[in-house]
Amino acid sequence: MMSSNPYLPRLAEVLEVKEESPEVKTLKLKLKEGRMKFKAGQFLELTVFGVGEAPFTFSSSPFNLESFEVSIAKVGSVTGAAHRLKRGELVGVRGPFGNGFPLEEYKGRDLLIVGGGIGIAPLRSLLYALVAERSEYGELKLLYGARSPSLIIYKDEWEKFMEKDVEVYLTVDVGDETWRCGPYGPCGYTHVGVVTTLFDLVKLNPEKCVAFVCGPPIMIKFTVQRLLQLGFPASRIYLSLERMMKCGLGKCGHCNIEGYYVCKDGPVFPFEMLKDIPHPF
């Protein structure tokens, strides 16, 4: 439940800080009062007191009502301050905001999840939601890429998703001596090349499959091109987008793209809605 004043942050305690990579930390948070009920794909506004507020998608399972997680890449002032937070400290949270992934519509379908960089954060939440009801869906495939092996995050979780019948394909732009290519455990199929090169390794049935994509704009652009070439209809390609935000509520206009507010109408959009917009990503 949101606070009655959506501009007023609620207090949350940092329960745990996990270093996922040299660039990303995951904060486990718990509201001081009440519970955070959210859908995979929704986001919150996080305040680091004395520094500022920034939007982050939930990266944890929406079925865990006791605590919730955000995974934060350090890029500037708020994210830098979030990386310095310690267990027991308090932050402010507003939300949940946005629409989330439309999972109910796609029960029985095959699902393809494609993530790049920190874009894997909302997709991790999506994966947890899907494996909690694994028998409701068909084939589940994940394609995830990072720039280098040290930047692959959630390393200890991929094997657990594979045990839940998720096909996991990981790739890095540049490998190193720790990165062995091929169908080797424990992390699924590992590869070197940009995310779209993984499409050569997977078998997909575009008539039955729905794609969910999140990552840097250039990755989204080439992934969408590839999905369309494969025969995915624009209505079954979902993109989770980022824009500069302030209110998170569809009021201030900061996140406007051609009449849509990313914070309110998104951040998850079917490509069908965006395909006639000149630079949607």
Binding site for ligand FAD (CB under 6 A): 43, 52, 54-57, 70-73, 75-80, 118, 121, 242-245, 267
Which of 53/110 has CB closer to ligand FAD?
53
Which 3 state secondary structure label does DSSP give 144? strand
Going by C-alpha positions, the residue among 125, 176, 109, 169 that lies closest to residue 145 is: 169
Give the nearest distance from C-beta 114 to ligand FES in angstroms: 25
CA distance 224 to 216: 12
The binder of 252, among ligand FAD, ligand FES, none, by C-beta within 5 to 8 A per type, is: ligand FES
Shortest Cβ distance from residue 260 to ligand FES (Å)?
A: 10
Q: For ligand FAD, which is the closer residue by CB, 56 or 260?
A: 56
76 binds, among ligand FES, ligand FAD, none (CB under 5 to 8 A by kind): ligand FAD
Of 78 and 255, which CB lies nearer to ligand FES in the complex structure? 255
**Binding region for ligand FES (CB under 6 A):** 245-248, 250-255, 261, 263
Least distance (Å) between residue 116 CB and ligand FAD: 13
Amino acid symbol at 255: C
How many residues can be counted in the chain?
A: 281
The CA-CA-CA angle for residues 63, 170, 18, to 5°, reads 50
Closest contact distance (angstroms) between CB of 252 and ligand FES is: 3
Q: Is 79 helix (H, G, I), strand (E, B) or coil?
A: helix
Tokens of 190: 């590992």
Q: Which does 242 bind (CB under 5 to 8 A by kind): ligand FAD, ligand FES, none?
A: ligand FAD
The residues near 248 (Cβ < 8 Å, ≥ 6 apart) are: 6, 43, 45, 55, 94, 95, 97, 98, 263
From residue 217, how far is each of 115, 128, 134 by CA, in Å?
A: 11, 24, 30
